[in-house]
Amino acid sequence: MRFEGYTSREIEVGLTQRYGNRAPKNNTIRTWFARGGRLYDFYPSYATEETRNRQAITSHMFSDHIKNAAPAIVRIMNDPTQPAVSQLRAAQYIINRELGLPPKQVPNSDSSDLAHEIREAAGIIGKTES
C-alpha cells in the first residue's frame, strides 16, 4: 500500500516524528486502508486523481521525446520479426500511455479532509493557513 508514494511504514515514521508516542502505528495505518477502514471508500478516487497527476507530469516531461519514441514503439509492435513478447509490451505501453493504468485497489478510506490531515501530520505536505 502506498499513499502519495509513501509506504505505511514511512507514514508511521513521519507521524511519529511529529507526534511522538501519540502517533498511530503501522498496523493502525494499514487498517485505515483495509475493507471497512476509514480511508477504504476514498482511496479509489484518490488513486484515480494520482494517476491523472502522474500522467500529466509524465506527458509534460516527455512531450518532446514522444514524437520520436511513438513511431519506434509502433514499429516494434507491428514488426513480425520481433518476438511476440516485445510486440505485446509495445502494444501494452501504447495502451497504458493513452488510457492510463487502472487504479489499484488497496484495502481502505473516509474523506479527502482526513487524507489531507494525514498528509499534513506525516509531514508530506505543509500545514495550510487558516
pLDDT grade, residue 107 (50/70/90)?
A: very low
pLDDT computed for residue 110 by the predictor: 46
Cβ contacts of 97-101, under 8 Å, gap ≥ 24: 100/51, 100/52, 100/55, 101/51
Between 6-15, 66-75, 101-110, the lowest mean confidence (pLDDT) is in: 101-110
CA pair distance 120, 56, nearest whole angstrom: 24
pLDDT computed for residue 121 by the predictor: 64
Q: How far is CA 36 from CA 32, 42, 57, 95, 120, in A?
A: 8, 11, 32, 33, 23
In the chain, at which residue ranges do the beta strands (DSSP E only) sit? Answer: 2-3, 6-7
User: What is the per-residue burial (b if ≥16 Cβ within 10 Å, else e) of 70-106?
Assistant: eeebeebbeeeeeeeeebeebeeeeeebeeeeeeeeb
pLDDT computed for residue 130 by the predictor: 46
**Model confidence, pTM:** 0.35
48's grid cell: 484515480
Average pLDDT over residues 37-47: 82
